[in-house]
Chain A
């Protein structure tokens, strides 16, 4: 569904991502892990169009999307849920969700999607008229994901969904991520929390210094004692 060929990208003249290539199949759940500051977020931001590609190509559902504007890429169904949520702090939960549905024409469709989001995250429904800044960390994360779901994304790019959350909440969020994927949602995940990644992913890529240093399934990763120690301190 999404394929990256020889991606080189970065900020200014610097290259953070060097010659990365991989594919994500439809309904797959792929996770990128790796040390901090080595490009995981930059990779997602390159796909969503925030960071300009320096060389290489990105194809989505057969069509090239690199070089397009951010809003055009979202229009194709590639939805990036950024690190740190990036909510609209003075807008209500409702309004934040409605922003997610910005590209949706029919109000029936919007109501339907909102219903689904509230079913997944009942806390959000309880707080639907509260402003985003009054929510707890976990609730904000849920709102960010819910907002992303409102777009009807064909592929979700999730940047560190467990960041800054309590274990109980992380549990909840990952349960939902797994649920979504089981229902057919294609997901590209970036995660620091390796053990979580192992439990949900079909395929894992280790990004070190901007390059893919290893790839494999969750089980394969668990058995790679060296990697687990060196890179992930396990």
Chain B
């Protein structure tokens, strides 16, 4: 019984963090057809900025988080202005942009390395203490992460469903030209998506750094996992990515608990291989949007 509670708590926490990261990737892919290889670096940057805000500028933690999110969003915006903007619509965009965002990630990673060094740092953000359910210790931090993630997802869902901006983003993902024919300046939508994506990535990074430690390459594995989640859900399917994030978080933790920590990631990989062989467009996905 205790084991299951432990799995549930850890799995939901991990899933919560994956959810934020996956939604970011999914949004960016859906609206821009960009597979953001910079996600990992942006994750790390978010964590480090929050760290600096607290340690060097003595900001209260909530403010530090806000600052980190804003900077994360700006990094996303920078990616748009320096790179994406020039490449949209050109031949081979989908693959070229992978190399370009990878290049961007390298620059970002290098900056982090120069500023903070490679030695892992401890993130000062986080709650101490926790509950006890039966014999299982449930850290407050984990609960906080799940709550924060849940709240974020509600905000994102609201944004997409009811606001003008959200509608434009959804429309752009479904038919770019039709969106333009509605009088919407598509470059604006792209910028907005990258700002949101950058902010979400930063949050995800802060979350991750409270569970482990800060290191320049900390974002790499989570980025891969976010990719896997998005692919299993069907690229561009935001709600699917959300569900898949929690399911896969629970799955990974279960495997780790039962078979050992090092089997967690490989199990995810085997799962995605099987899933794609069974359903080439992702479990919830479908062939590239039918033209109506």
Contact = CB atoms under 8 A, between A and B. Distances in A.
A6 B19 CA distance: 55
A102 B175 CA distance: 15
Interface in B270-292: 289-292
A70 B289 CA distance: 22
Contacts of A98: 167
Nearest to A137: B292
Contacts of B171: 88, 91, 99
Given A91-B171, A102-B184, A103-B183, A50 B292 contact: no
A89 B182 contact: no
Interface string A71-103: 100110001101011111111000100111011
Interface in A171-192: none
A197 interface: no
Contacts of A99: 167-168, 171, 179, 182
A86 B177 contact: yes
Interface in B149-191: 164, 167-168, 170-171, 174-175, 177-186
A115 B177 CA distance: 26
Contacts of B291: 84, 86, 89
A196 interface: no
A98 B164 CA distance: 9
A69 interface: yes
Interface residues of A, number: 29
Contacts of B181: 48, 50, 70, 74, 79-80, 82, 86
Interface string A139-154: 0100000010001000
Contact of B183 (A74, A84, A87, A95): A74
Contacts of B185: 69, 71
Contacts of B167: 91, 95, 98-99, 102
B183 A89 contact: no
Contact of A89 (B164, B179, B289): B289
B178 A71 contact: no
A91 B170 contact: yes
A99 B185 CA distance: 13
Given A91-B171, A99-B171, A50 B179 contact: no
A139 B180 CA distance: 22
B128 to A, nearest CB: 45
A206 interface: no
B186 A88 contact: no
Contacts of B182: 74, 99-100, 102-103, 147, 151
Contacts of A132: 292
A69 B89 CA distance: 14
Contacts of B290: 89, 133
Nearest to A74: B183
A126 to B, nearest CB: 19
B292 A87 contact: yes
B168 A86 contact: no
A70 B185 CA distance: 8
A88 B177 CA distance: 11
Interface of A: 48, 50, 69-71, 74-75, 79-80, 82, 84-91, 95, 98-100, 102-103, 132-133, 140, 147, 151
Given A82-B181, A86-B175, A102-B182, 17 more contacts: A71-B180, A82-B177, A84-B291, A84-B292, A86-B178, A86-B181, A87-B292, A88-B170, A88-B175, A89-B174, A89-B289, A89-B292, A91-B171, A95-B167, A99-B182, A102-B183, A103-B182
11 contacts: A71-B180, A84-B291, A86-B292, A87-B292, A89-B290, A90-B170, A102-B184, A103-B182, A103-B183, A133-B292, A140-B292
